[in-house]
Chain A
Amino acid sequence: MSLIQTASAPMAPLMTRAAQALKGLTPGKVLTFLVLLGGAWVVIFPYVWMISSSLKPTDEVYDADFTIWPKTFAGVQNYLDVLIEQPYPTFLLNSLIVCAGVLAVQLVTAIPAAYALAKLKFRGATILLGTVIACITIPINVTSIPLYLGLVRAGLLDTYFSMMFPFLVSVFAIFLFRQFFKSYPESIIEAARVDGFSEIEIVLRLIVPAAVPAVAAFSVFSFVAHWNDLYWPLIVVQSQDKMTASLSMMQYRSEFDINYGRTFAAATVVTIPMLIVFFFARRAFVRGITMSGVKG
């Protein structure tokens, strides 16, 4: 950046600053930057492509020579189609309800379970922990058929409950929180017991406030995973008004014609809430996955 500035505005202070910047630039550093830049491009390009395509008419999406800015601008049309003609606010709200509901129940079930596994001594604790770890390895595809049959029997298909049901207890969350709680100083918990805290209050007043980064990290994981989930809503959702945002994009696919410009606009609309969530939780998220526990 500073190089370009120097070229356009050849002022003395800028010159020296640029010179200083150049001085520190060893071949190793240049290589590092290039590699990082390449990596960043690989990550960002799909988004660039998505947004760029969402501004193009379908035939231009198919065009052989890719341009970031569309030759024919169809952005207004695509986004109006998505936001006005389609019930996208409803789809987004459905996604929000499912994700928030899943996350809330996951936290309520996982935090006490993780505390028990991390800090309480009871018969069978080791076996239970082993079971939890083993459960992490079971994919949803294995359990989806019995779950589906059960929901059909109970007449609960096409409800918010059926959309959330398989995910209400997250063994991954239990394991993650257990690892985090494990490092909480034993003596603080003992001091609390002497002071008259009940175990529930130890969790609420001491453990949870200390575990905010872990909770934030898991919340982002969980929210993104269920926001993007296509598999399970596809199985249990039947009506238009229960459709989640990611599922809704299926409907632009027809046998004869796919409106790609509109599909990409929909994808952009569906992705943006996740980006916002991540930007707000970014700090806590990074802290949650890089450190654990509190220092006394």
Chain B
Amino acid sequence: MARLELKDIRKSFGGTDVLRGIDLDVEDGEFMSLVGASGCGKSTLLRIISGLENADSGQILLDGRPVGDDPPSGRNVAMVFQDYALYPHMSVAQNMAMPLVMARLPIYARLPGGRLFTPHLRGSRADIALQVEKVAGQLRIDHLLSRRPAQLSGGQRQRVALGRALVRNPSLFLMDEPLSNLDAKLRVEVRKEIVELHRKSDLTFVYVTHDQTEAMTMSDRVALLRHGRLLQVAMPGSLYFDPATIDVARFIGSPEINLFPARRKDGTLSFAGVRLSLSGGPMGDSDLMVAIRPEALVVKGAAGVASSPLEGPQFSIGVTREAIEDLGAEIVIHGRIARMPDIALRIRAQKSLHHAGPVAVPAQFDVRASLSSLLFFGADGQRINGVTAGVAQKALAR
């Protein structure tokens, strides 16, 4: 249990700036995910928190105590690695006992044969064994304690790695893409277990992943990194519905959010052949980006696709169909705007429950969307708040 504060963490490797000033607070007991594309610095940041790497500048505080100069073992952090990093020639029990052995037994007792010369430490050894068994029981790996890592499946190794991290009762629990070596089904399962683990343990978790689904489903808050900077730190929901920048909007959500270059002139906004009136926000003529989530677009006239009712003023765009991905319960339609074929469009739609036959999307169709589901970004990529779109006098531009 600990509160983690990062203050202006900077790091560069051979002239390449990997982290360019990270400020981040992780509350006690919080599950914080660090998300970003590969190379964004998220793993480096985690390694700096763990002490495996030193920051060039900046401060790391654990419960208000600066730990930047402490070695990893002095920070009481536990870390789970992507490839599990189990000690290959030790049994599961020995693997899990190691952090406690290192912390509680003096060095002469840890050497080979040290057991023989240190009968007075029998109590400590028994405590360690007990603790290992307890954690193994929690993770349901107590029947594997005598096995070697090579004899375990991926999921079992993952659990042993979690157990080894848990057994020491760390103040901070760090995970570096722990699920990426598991197959898809197991991943969902272990994901649930980690969330459960967090809920039960009240530990502070910092979880690195490139997979937004993991971050969105597991975390209390998500920190999105890009090029060594934090783009936004927010709860998963607000990251999705209320992105601060265009980069956040594009990274979060699959398929990717639809983006249209737009122009604001004399209070009228035109994009993708649509003209809307615009009020509020910074005045004057400017270039903007208009964004809309793929599921906010409602397909008209396609058999087998459910069309949810829209609220408030709406607009409509003509689309040319290109490809359809059938995901079972829903479909993703890739298309282009009929009148501006250089703009691609992604639509996610639920399948209709009442339609038996295959989904049929015509080659040309219309999509509608509520004006309230539009997001506006400035030319600099920052979100523009306080803008209200309305139906222009000329009505729908079609």
Segment at the A interface, from B96-104, B189-197, B248-256, B367-375: B96-104
Q: How far is the CA of A196 from the CA of B103 in the complex (A)?
A: 7
Q: How far is the CA of A190 from the CA of B107 in the complex (A)?
A: 19
Q: Indicate if the CB atoms of B99 and A190 lie closer than 8 Å.
A: no
Q: Indicate if the CB atoms of B102 and A196 lie closer than 8 Å.
A: yes
Q: Indicate if the CB atoms of A209 and B89 lie closer than 8 Å.
A: yes
| Chain A residue, CB-CB nearest to B75 | A194
Q: How far is the CA of A190 from the CA of B53 in the complex (A)?
A: 10
B86-101 vs A, Cβ < 8 Å mask (1 yes, 0 no): 1111000000001100
Is residue B140 contacting chain A, with contact meaning CB distance below 8 A? Answer: no
Q: Indicate if the CB atoms of B85 and A185 lie closer than 8 Å.
A: yes
Q: How far is the CA of A85 from the CA of B88 in the complex (A)?
A: 53
Residues of A within 8 Å of B88, CB to CB, are 188, 210, 294-296
Q: How far is the CA of A205 from the CA of B102 in the complex (A)?
A: 12
Please give the distance in Å from A25's CB to the nearest CB on chain B.
40
Q: Indicate if the CB atoms of A201 and B83 lie closer than 8 Å.
A: no
Q: Indicate if the CB atoms of A296 and B89 lie closer than 8 Å.
A: no
Is residue A44 contacting chain B, with contact meaning CB distance below 8 A? Answer: no
Q: How far is the CA of A127 from the CA of B112 in the complex (A)?
A: 35
Please give the distance in Å from A207's CB to the nearest CB on chain B.
11
Residues of A within 8 Å of B83, CB to CB, are 185, 187, 296
Is residue A195 contacting chain B, with contact meaning CB distance below 8 A? Answer: yes
Contact among A190, A196, A205 for B52, CB-based, below 8 A: A190
| Chain A residue, CB-CB nearest to B110 | A201
Q: Indicate if the CB atoms of A210 and B82 lie closer than 8 Å.
A: no
Contact among A187, A197, A201, A295 for B85, CB-based, below 8 A: A187
Q: Quick one: which of A219-272 are within 8 Å of B by CB?
A: none
Is residue B135 contacting chain A, with contact meaning CB distance below 8 A? Answer: no
Contact among B73, B82, B84, B86 for A196, CB-based, below 8 A: B73
Residues of A within 8 Å of B107, CB to CB, are 198, 201
Q: How far is the CA of A23 from the CA of B149 in the complex (A)?
A: 46
Residues of A within 8 Å of B149, CB to CB, are 296
Q: Indicate if the CB atoms of A194 and B72 lie closer than 8 Å.
A: yes
| Chain B residue, CB-CB nearest to A189 | B85
Contact among A192, A205, A296 for B84, CB-based, below 8 A: A296
Q: Indicate if the CB atoms of B73 and A210 lie closer than 8 Å.
A: no
Q: How far is the CA of A193 from the CA of B70 in the complex (A)?
A: 12
Q: Indicate if the CB atoms of A194 and B87 lie closer than 8 Å.
A: no
- Can you show 27 pairs from A to B with CB atoms below 8 A apart? A187-B82, A187-B85, A188-B87, A190-B81, A190-B85, A191-B79, A191-B81, A191-B87, A193-B51, A194-B51, A194-B72, A194-B73, A194-B77, A194-B99, A195-B98, A195-B102, A195-B164, A196-B102, A197-B73, A204-B111, A204-B112, A209-B89, A210-B89, A295-B88, A295-B150, A296-B83, A296-B86
Interface of A toward B, CB cutoff 8 Å: 185, 187-188, 190-198, 201, 204-206, 209-210, 294-296
Interface of B toward A, CB cutoff 8 Å: 47, 50-52, 71-73, 77-79, 81-89, 98-99, 102-103, 107, 110-112, 149-150, 164, 168
Closest 5 CB pairs between A and B?
A196-B102, A196-B73, A191-B85, A187-B85, A195-B99
